[in-house]
């Protein structure tokens, strides 16, 4: 019996690599444009408790206050964004959306009025917590290994959720991490008592 030819799907890790690299390319294009035009995009960050500042919830993770800021975020975005997507593109994108919204809204509600918050670190802190908690909840070997590796590499960075460093949005770090925890809880497919044989 003959059938229609099938198109092989790209492995998830390849799609994850392309999406993550594409996202980082967008970050760099935006910062190059911003620097070349006198930094007009900086004003589009999250401005706490300002109605116009809600726009920042949608765009702030893509904006940075200069190239030093962007450079410091580039490698973590590449590594953690890839790991978040590599074991499931749909779940990884949904987790990122949850982190994006929870992080941005948390900053808008809690941070000091008159300040502006931007940067991909909202996503970075969310991805760290998502990957670690996902491994604990799902208990799939691959996800456990990823969670352990991420914890060992980035656990010290989690101190960034504490206030104290001038010019650093600890609120963005904190609520990004909260978003990562919420995403892991909402998107965990394993229920208590299930054995690994169900997967």
DSSP characters for 101-141?
A: HHHHHHHHHHSPTT--B--THHHHHHHHHHHHHHHHHH--H
Amino acid 7: pLDDT: 45
- Percent of the chain beyond pLDDT 90? 75
pLDDT band at 50; cut points 50, 70, 90 = very high
Q: For residues 43 and 117, what is the distance between their CA atoms, to the nearest angstrom? A: 9
Amino acid 4: pLDDT: 46
pLDDT higher for 90 or 157? 90
- Any idea what DSSP says for residue 117? B
Q: For residues 25 and 33, what is the distance between their CA atoms, to the nearest angstrom? A: 12
Secondary structure (3-state) at 46: strand
Is pLDDT above 50 for 99? yes
Domain boundaries, the chain: 12-189
pLDDT band at 190; cut points 50, 70, 90 = low
Secondary structure (3-state) at 166: coil
Average pLDDT rounded to a whole number, residues 82-86:
96
- Phi, psi angles (nearest 5°) of residue 117: -125, 130
Class of domain 12-189: mainly alpha
Is pLDDT above 70 for 2? no
Of the ranges 95-99, 181-185, 195-199, which one carries the lowest mean pLDDT score? Answer: 195-199
Q: For residues 136 and 176, what is the distance between their CA atoms, to the nearest angstrom? A: 19
């Amino acid at each position: 019996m003959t059938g229609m030819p099938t198109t092989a799907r790209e492995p998830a890790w390849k799609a994850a690599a392309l999406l993550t690299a594409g996202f980082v390319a967008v970050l760099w294009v935006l910062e190059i444009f911003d620097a070349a035009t006198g930094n007009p995009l900086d004003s589009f960050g999250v401005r706490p408790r300002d109605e116009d500042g809600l726009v920042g919830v949608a765009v702030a993770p893509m904006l940075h206050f200069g190239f030093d800021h962007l450079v410091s975020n580039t490698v973590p975005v590449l590594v953690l964004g890839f790991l978040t997507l590599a074991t499931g593109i749909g779940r990884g994108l949904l987790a990122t959306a949850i982190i994006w919204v929870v992080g941005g809204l948390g900053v808008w509600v809690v941070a000091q009025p008159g300040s502006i918050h931007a940067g991909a670190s909202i996503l970075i802190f969310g991805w760290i917590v998502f990957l670690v908690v996902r491994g604990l909840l799902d208990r799939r070997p691959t996800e456990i290994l990823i969670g352990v590796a991420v914890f060992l590499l980035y656990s010290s960075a989690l101190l960034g959720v504490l206030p104290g460093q001038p010019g650093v949005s600890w609120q963005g770090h904190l609520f990004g991490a909260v978003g990562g925890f919420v995403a892991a809880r909402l998107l965990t497919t394993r229920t208590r008592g299930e054995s690994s044989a169900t997967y």
